[in-house]
Amino acid sequence: MSRAYLTYFCVFAAMVGGLWVILTFGKSLEAPPDLSGEWRVKWDAPPKNALEQGWMKVQQSGRFLTVSFENSMSLSMKLSDVDQAARELRNPVLRMTDGTWTMTLNGNPALGEVQLDLSGPSRHTARAMRLAADGQPIGSSHGH
């Protein structure tokens, strides 16, 4: 066998092996759930300067989020336990933190409604509903 054929064979074997590794380990990778958009929030006890009923805007890039509350704080947070939440399809629990504050969402964000628990120097709970582009809650009937 000539040296050129041996080189081509080794390159081909490395390519096939690399593709096998990517396909094998890539199957288990999953994108974090989409939380981006505008949410209507009804607080049980609102944070400082927040309205009892207001909005929460979420900007997301992978596991990193910027969460802004109407007339109140803005938090730069990171999602944790994404794999655990993906396994709990019926009632996933998503946690994110910025070091001082921890926000926990109970429920499936894809369905448009979650229980929100914000804890840190103080604790606040709320019900949050994701809004569609027309400003209506996701999953609501538009003919009321």
pLDDT at 144: 45
Put simply, whether the predicted model's pTM sits higher than 0.85 gets the answer no
Token digits of residue 16: 């096939």
pLDDT at 1: 65
| Per-residue pLDDT reduced to its tens digit, 42-95 | 999 888 888 889 999 999 998 999 999 888 889 999 998 765 555 555 567 889
| Per-residue pLDDT reduced to its tens digit, 7-48 | 999 999 999 999 999 888 887 777 788 899 999 999 998 888
Q: How far is the C-alpha of 38 from the C-alpha of 67, rounded, in Å?
A: 10
